Amino acid sequence: MIHTSLIKKNTKIKLSNDVDKGSVREIEALLSAVPGLEEQYHVLKLIGYGTFSSVFKAIDLKYHEYDNSSWERGLNSPRYCTRLAVQRTHYVAIKQIYPTQSSHRIIKELKILNELKGKPSVTCAITAFRYQDQVLIVLPYIMHSDFREFYLGYTLADVSIYIRELFQALSSIHELSIIHRDIKPANFCWNPFSRKGSLVDFGLAQWENEFDASCACSKKYIPNNPGFFDKENMESFELLEPNNAYIKKDLRPCKRGERGGTRGFRAPEVLFRCKSQRCAIDVWSAGIILLIFFIKRFPLFQSENDIDAVVELTHFFGRQEMKKCARLHDCSFDDNIPSIPDSRVPWRKLIKIS
């Protein structure tokens, strides 16, 4: 969670009464790790944390000393602006990146956030700074509600507004050839009162040109030979007696590919280790969110690994469809699970069953 070990012995930091009582230890750790931070920002609360970072809500004490037009352009457009916008307290979100995060990913995230300034429905970087091994990114604070608080009661009209805003965000990043790679409800800050949302957390984001075109799918045809696990080819081999061991120094080639993201929202090409991943993987994840609204079950998929995730998708799309998808990415898929249908489940039937 938070690196509370960063608190120095005999170090006392005085916190005001408006600080969240449940976040005192984490805030003390942050202020101890970055001296002078309290002169710039009044940290109020820990609002989220993950494997590589934590996010705090804070007040920008120096807001009026800087030109904020570059990053407020997207937030203060007519679609966001209110009568009280000028009078409001200027909250920000401070993202503390842990030292365990790789430096090239931090640099990439900063470049992407800077490129997104002024784009609608997406967050951007206000500023960033480093002290020793501590890297902080200051972002606009977006008022939002937890997805579980509203998704069950949303009507079809409500869902259409939510999805339209989400695809507005995807349009903003995809026109710059940026793949978010972690589209999920928690990363789309949605305000059910203003019905506006903002896409956040670009820690896993990449540019499309970072991927090569070595995957079979980039050639836009389905290979006849899905690989050395082809069932027809296997018939010519003599199988050894099964055992529970594995090869200590296995020299067989393995397929490597980007697999970042959250379980249940990864596209099939991510699960099959595609080396030519494109912005379409974000659209897939957005489609899963839409399906969650229709089925009214969250989380929808709960697999512990990629193999189980493929099996879960096969129950929806059918055995033949997943075999075709596997061949498209130069992989092979086969199963002996009786409950898996040969063809996909019709969407009307799927939603009606739920």
Map out the domains of the chain with their CATH numbers.
Answer: 4-140 (3.30.200.20), 143-234+256-354 (1.10.510.10)
From CA 302, how far away is CA 307, in angstroms rounded? 12
CB contact at 8 A, 266 and 180: no
The pLDDT assigned to 86 comes to 44
CB contact at 8 A, 18 and 58: no
Residue whose entry in the numeric block shows the structure tokens 């899905």? 226
pLDDT reading at 242 higher than 80: no
Per-residue confidence band for 312, with pLDDT thresholds at 50, 70 and 90: very high
Cα-based torsion angle of the residue sequence 95, 101, 105, 107 in order, rounded to the nearest 10 degrees: 60
Residue 255: HSE in the Cβ half-sphere, 13 Å Cα cutoff: 19
pLDDT reading at 235 higher than 90: no
**How deeply is 166 buried, as exposed, middle or buried, from its count of CB atoms within 10 A (0-12, 13-18, 19+)?**
buried
- For the ranges 8-12, 49-53, 215-219, 248-252, the maximum mean pLDDT occurs at 49-53
Q: The pTM is what?
A: 0.83
The pLDDT assigned to 271 comes to 93
pLDDT digits (tens, 9 = 90+) for 258-284: 667 899 999 999 999 888 899 999 999
From CA 162, how far away is CA 160, in angstroms rounded? 5
The DSSP letter of residue 345 is P
Residue 8 tokens, joined: 């120095």
Show contacts of 158-165: CB within 8 Å, 24+ apart. 159/290, 159/293, 159/294, 161/195, 162/190, 162/195, 162/197, 162/293, 163/286, 163/289, 163/290, 163/293, 165/121, 165/190, 165/195, 165/196, 165/197
Mean pLDDT of 57-78: 78
Mean pLDDT of 135-151: 95
Per-residue confidence band for 12, with pLDDT thresholds at 50, 70 and 90: low
The Cβ of residue 209 has, within 10 Å, a number of other Cβ atoms equal to: 7
pLDDT reading at 4 higher than 50: no
Residue 32 tokens, joined: 């101890």
Per-residue confidence band for 210, with pLDDT thresholds at 50, 70 and 90: confident
Name the percent of the chain lying above pLDDT 70.
80
Q: Cis ω on the peptide bond leading into residue 299 (within 30° of 0)?
A: yes
Per-residue confidence band for 120, with pLDDT thresholds at 50, 70 and 90: very high
Residue 29 tokens, joined: 């750790």
pLDDT reading at 3 higher than 50: no
Average pLDDT, the chain: 85
> Is residue 182 among the annotated active site residues?
yes
CB contact at 8 A, 89 and 57: no
Per-residue confidence band for 17, with pLDDT thresholds at 50, 70 and 90: confident
The pLDDT assigned to 6 comes to 42
Residues 6+ apart with CB under 8 A from 172: 116, 119, 120, 121, 122, 199
Q: Which helix (H) or strand (E) holds 324?
A: helix 319-328
Question: Which of 117, 170, 172 lies closest to 139 in space, CA to CA?
Answer: 117
Cα angle 66, 71, 73 (rounded to 5 degrees) comes to: 110
Q: Lowest mean pLDDT of 7-16, 162-171, 320-329, name the range.
A: 7-16
Name the percent of the chain lying above pLDDT 90.
60
Per-residue confidence band for 191, with pLDDT thresholds at 50, 70 and 90: very high
The pLDDT assigned to 316 comes to 92
Residue 80 Cα to chain centre, angstroms: 24
From CA 298, how far away is CA 277, in angstroms rounded? 26
* CB burial string 23-47: b at 16+ within 10 A, e below: beebbbbbbbbbeebbebbbbbbbb
Per-residue confidence band for 237, with pLDDT thresholds at 50, 70 and 90: low
The pLDDT assigned to 353 comes to 63
**How deeply is 110 buried, as exposed, middle or buried, from its count of CB atoms within 10 A (0-12, 13-18, 19+)?**
middle
pLDDT reading at 67 higher than 60: yes
From CA 124, how far away is CA 76, in angstroms rounded? 13
pLDDT reading at 83 higher than 70: no
Q: Give bridge partners of residue 138 from the DSSP assignment.
A: 94, 127
From CA 181, how far away is CA 279, in angstroms rounded? 8
Q: Lowest mean pLDDT of 11-15, 36-40, 170-174, 186-190, name the range.
A: 11-15
- From the list 60, 133, 182, 230, the catalytic residue is 182
CB contact at 8 A, 335 and 319: yes
Q: Lowest mean pLDDT of 6-15, 148-157, 173-182, name the range.
A: 6-15
pLDDT reading at 295 higher than 80: yes
The pLDDT assigned to 203 comes to 92
